[in-house]
């Protein structure tokens, strides 16, 4: 069974701090994603990686960066945390399309609830 593990369930940081959120998947998936989830807004894609050292901006990348040095690990970095980055952060992974070109479902971690004070 696929497991996506996020390093912290709850995290409290202060404004201006540099914050690291870590995500590890154990199924050798090519693709990894970071989302933030806010009430009434659903999931919004922050960044996406389709290979080691490759990344692509999502819909709301401002204030965030990512790192993917190894295939199984995808880190989200808040360069200088601000209160409007208080949110639930979800990491996900998926394999590449199958031979028929069908997109594959994403597998999610349990989320990190981040509070910026």
Partner 1 sequence: AQSVTQLGSHVSVSEGALVLLRCNYSSSVPPYLFWYVQYPNQGLQLLLKYTSAATLVKGINGFEAEFKKSETSFHLTKPSAHMSDAAEYFCAVRGDSGGYQKVTFGTGTKLQVIP
Taking CB under 8 A as the rule, which mask of x and - marks residues 1-30 in contact with partner 1?
---x--------------------------
Tell me the chain's radius of gyration from C-alpha atoms: 14
State residue 85 phi and psi, 5-degree precision. -100, 5
**3-state per-residue secondary structure call for 64-78:** EEEEEEECCEEEEEE
Which listed residue (17, 70, 80, 97) binds partner 1 by CB under 8 A? 97
Query: Which of 75, 94, 114, 116 contacts partner 1 by CB under 8 A?
Result: 94
**Residue (16 or 105) nearer to partner 1, CB:** 105
22 near 37, Cβ under 8 Å? no
Q: Name which of 16 and 97 has its Cβ closer to partner 1.
A: 97
């Amino acid at each position: 069974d696929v497991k996506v593990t996020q390093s912290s369930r709850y995290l409290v940081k202060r404004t201006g701090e540099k914050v690291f959120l870590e995500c590890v998947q154990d199924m050798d998936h090519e693709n990894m994603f970071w989302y933030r989830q806010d009430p009434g807004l659903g999931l919004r894609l922050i960044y996406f990686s389709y290979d080691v050292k490759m990344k692509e901006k999502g819909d709301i990348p401002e204030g965030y960066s990512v790192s993917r040095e190894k295939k199984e690990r995808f880190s989200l970095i808040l360069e200088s945390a601000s209160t409007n980055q208080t949110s639930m952060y979800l990491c996900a992974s998926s394999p590449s399309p199958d031979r028929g070109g069908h997109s594959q479902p994403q597998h999610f971690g349990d989320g990190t609830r981040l509070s910026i004070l």
